[in-house]
Structure 1
Amino acid sequence: MKNLEKIKWGIVGLGNIANQFATDLLLLEDAELTAVASRSSFKANDFAQKYNCSKAYDSYEALFADEEVEIIYIATPHDSHAELSIKALEAGKHVLCEKPIALSYSDAVRMIEASKKNNKFFMEAFWTRFIPAVKEVLKKVENGEIGEVKYINADFAFRGSETENLRLFDKKLGGGALFDIGVYPLFLSYILLGNPKEIVAKAIKHKNDIDLQTSMILQYEKAQSILHSSIVFDSDMKATIAGTKGRIELNSPWFVADGYTLYIDEEKEAVISLPVLGKGYSHEIIECHNCIRNSQIESQFWSYQNSLDLSKIVDEIKIQIQLPF
């Protein structure tokens, strides 16, 4: 690790998730936070000072033009993901774009086309795909340890505040439960069972038309997933994957699980501990570094096609619950 040249990062959009990401970035010896950007110069300077970053910009375009920066983490609200990712790719930067990739499937297609055209690495930041517990559970399912998967149950719910979590309730920014957190349980179903044959979704809406909570059933040939997301109540955020021989329960909160429990024929077979590094974002950063060093413009673990498939699933739900995006 010490012999590797540092990969230089820029961060665009300096909210809560960017703070968590930057904290994990500092844990990696082969990563350097080179520049950050916000529409507010005060916010940019404060963030840069906090994370020992030498450059702070008050415009995203200025960061895109910085020749020292190699890869940019897009952590702005959902509605700007497509525009900013494409601009960064066209400026010759690799891009890690926070999930959801975009507010529409057509925008997701444009982003991936920009990556291919400019021959630059691009990945949607589905950090959960790279945490040790999820990687190991995927292998166990693929190896048939719980038999044929028949049922998945997962939710992501917390109590948001219209005064403290303004972005969550802002229709213009792509707020609401589905795009902010509903993509997580959908992701779990997708990586285990693939594209569903049928989707049924129902939502309870806010007065401004965003979804406050959304329930989803994904129907497969021989399996079903029952999934839920909400920004108006707290849940235990566990996930269960049940098969013909046994089941796996991911520790809560499952999307950053530090382990899981394996049951075979209703007997507790193993309780496995697999802590994440830092807050859990480190693992996707390591994947970005590996891809860049190997001249790959997409990850084999969360590929262009994976992002497009998930975006299409979300688009179908968006139509069914009549979101205005």
Structure 2
Amino acid sequence: MHKEQTLHWGIIGLGKIAEKFATDMQKVSDSKIYAVASRTLEKAETFAKKHQATMAYGNYEELLSDPKIDAIYIATPHSLHKENTLMCLQNNIPVLCEKPLALNRFEVENMINAAKENNTLLMEALWTYFLPHYQKVLELLEQKHFGNILKLEADFGFKASLNPSGRVYNKTLGGGSLLDIGIYPIFSALTTLGIPKKTEAKATFFDNGADATCNMIFYYDKAIAHLKSTLVEKTNTEAIFTCQTGVIKINSRFHEPTTVTLKSNNGEEKTLDFNYNSIGYNFEIEHFNQLIRTNKKESPIMSFQKSTELIDLLDLIKAQIGLSYQ
């Protein structure tokens, strides 16, 4: 393993997220995209040329057998995450798997068990957790900068182009608003308020059975969270924490690099700018690289417990709105 020198990454699945991930790898020292794999060699070669990858493979098995690979980023559709992750773990290759980790709790448990059995690092790539602005908000809330949270309002919505075979829309690929973007508002509640005492959810559906919009309410002892995801309209995509003596607002789009506005009840207001100069994927890459270099098998931030809690909430909401991927 190239612990002291450059870490060689492989990518499985070469869509839009993989493009962003590969672009931000340029910002990370001692780390490079070494090999990429797609179902067609032509696509892999085009991607490899664009992002200066050394090797391009027309199937995943060839990439997995390359001895120079130190880590693999999985950016395939949700429905393939489990299968692709298990392939890597069985080859003892550390895996950073795009969110959601899998389609349900059963699959997530299989993946975590495989990571433990093979003594190999696995982490869900929920990049928001590692962004400096989000870490700052977690710190402010932990310190009770404006007292306790009373209410969280978090949304994520855009008008998707409804391509029947596209990943976002295609139910057989795990498409729909909840798993694709609803995961972010749910994540914001889980990481700030914890596991809710009770949840309510309502959804609208596309003709193919994928959820178009999901509205959720999470109830806590002394707080409430109103959460929303939608693929049929553009929303503010903010996370607003109303606390006892002020409001902490993660400005649009809260899940990616942005600013944070603090407004106290006495009218004082300031905006924190984190001067981002990347798309934002470099922060989770740097964290994962550090885990590899220190021989860790689990992230202390995006831990197995956190991924399990997150998929449990997603499963609960799916049951409440009558959504099944079986």
Q: Output one character per residue of 1:21-70: Cα deviation in whole Å (capped at 9) or x when no partner.
A: 00001221211111000001110000001111110011111111111001
Q: Output one character per residue of 1:275-308: Cα deviation in whole Å (capped at 9) or x when no partner.
A: 3341000000010011111111111111110000
Equivalent AA in structure 2 for residue 16 of structure 1: K
Counterpart Cα distance in 2 of 1:167 and 1:127:
19
Equivalent AA in structure 2 for residue 175 of structure 1: G
Q: Secondary structure in 2 aligned to 1:169?
A: coil
Q: Output one character per residue of 1:6-30: Cα deviation in whole Å (capped at 9) or x when no partner.
A: 1110000000100010000122121
Query: Where does structure 2 lack aligned partners over 5 or more consecutive residues?
Result: none
Q: Secondary structure in 2 aligned to 1:18?
A: helix
Q: Secondary structure in 2 aligned to 1:168?
A: coil
Counterpart Cα distance in 1 of 2:92 and 2:125:
19
Q: What is aligned with 2:107?
A: 107
Counterpart Cα distance in 2 of 1:216 and 1:72:
34
Q: Output one character per residue of 1:90-137: Cα deviation in whole Å (capped at 9) or x when no partner.
A: 111000000011101110111111111111111100000000100011
The more displaced of 6-15 and 155-164 is 155-164
Q: What is aligned with 2:193?
A: 193
Pair 1:286 & 2:286 matched: yes
The more displaced of 290-299 and 91-100 is 290-299
Q: What is aligned with 1:246?
A: 246
Counterpart Cα distance in 1 of 2:67 and 2:261:
47
Counterpart Cα distance in 2 of 1:31 and 1:164:
37
Q: Secondary structure in 1 aligned to 2:263?
A: strand
Q: What is aligned with 1:72?
A: 72
**Is the contact made by 2:257 and 2:279 (CA closer than 8 Å) also made in structure 1?**
no
Counterpart Cα distance in 2 of 1:99 and 1:165:
20
**Is the contact made by 2:257 and 2:280 (CA closer than 8 Å) also made in structure 1?**
no
Counterpart Cα distance in 2 of 1:252 and 1:213:
19
Equivalent AA in structure 2 for residue 109 of structure 1: E
Equivalent AA in structure 2 for residue 207 of structure 1: D
Q: What is aligned with 1:304?
A: 304
Q: Output one character per residue of 1:66-102: Cα deviation in whole Å (capped at 9) or x when no partner.
A: 1100100000000000111111011110000000111
Q: Output one character per residue of 1:212-246: Cα deviation in whole Å (capped at 9) or x when no partner.
A: 00000011111111000011111121110111121
| TM-score, normalised via structure 1 length | 0.97
Counterpart Cα distance in 2 of 1:321 and 1:242:
27
Alignment of 1:1-325 (within 5 A): 4-163=4-163, 166-325=166-325
C-alpha change, 1:259 and 1:320, in structure 2 (3 Å) is: same
Q: Secondary structure in 1 aligned to 2:124?
A: strand
**Is the contact made by 1:132 and 1:275 (CA closer than 8 Å) also made in structure 2?**
no
The RMSD of aligned alpha carbons is 1.3
C-alpha change, 1:276 and 1:108, in structure 2 (3 Å) is: farther
Q: Offset at 1:256?
A: 1.1
**Is the contact made by 2:9 and 2:33 (CA closer than 8 Å) also made in structure 1?**
yes
Q: Offset at 1:169?
A: 1.2
**Is the contact made by 1:131 and 1:280 (CA closer than 8 Å) also made in structure 2?**
yes
User: Where has structure 1 moved over 3 Å in runs of 4 or more?
Assistant: none
Q: Offset at 1:270?
A: 2.3
The more displaced of 75-84 and 62-71 is 62-71
Counterpart Cα distance in 1 of 2:117 and 2:276:
35
Q: Secondary structure in 1 aligned to 2:162?
A: coil
C-alpha change, 1:164 and 1:277, in structure 2 (3 Å) is: farther
**Is the contact made by 2:163 and 2:169 (CA closer than 8 Å) also made in structure 1?**
no
**Is the contact made by 1:256 and 1:276 (CA closer than 8 Å) also made in structure 2?**
no
Q: Secondary structure in 2 aligned to 1:319?
A: helix
Counterpart Cα distance in 2 of 1:294 and 1:35:
23
C-alpha change, 1:147 and 1:113, in structure 2 (3 Å) is: same
Q: Offset at 1:266?
A: 4.2
The more displaced of 260-269 and 180-189 is 260-269
| TM-score, normalised via structure 2 length | 0.96
Counterpart Cα distance in 1 of 2:148 and 2:110:
36
Equivalent AA in structure 2 for residue 192 of structure 1: T
- State the number of aligned residues: 323
Q: Offset at 1:324?
A: 2.4
Q: Offset at 1:147?
A: 0.5
**Is the contact made by 1:37 and 1:58 (CA closer than 8 Å) also made in structure 2?**
yes
Query: Where does structure 1 lack aligned partners over 5 or more consecutive residues?
Result: none
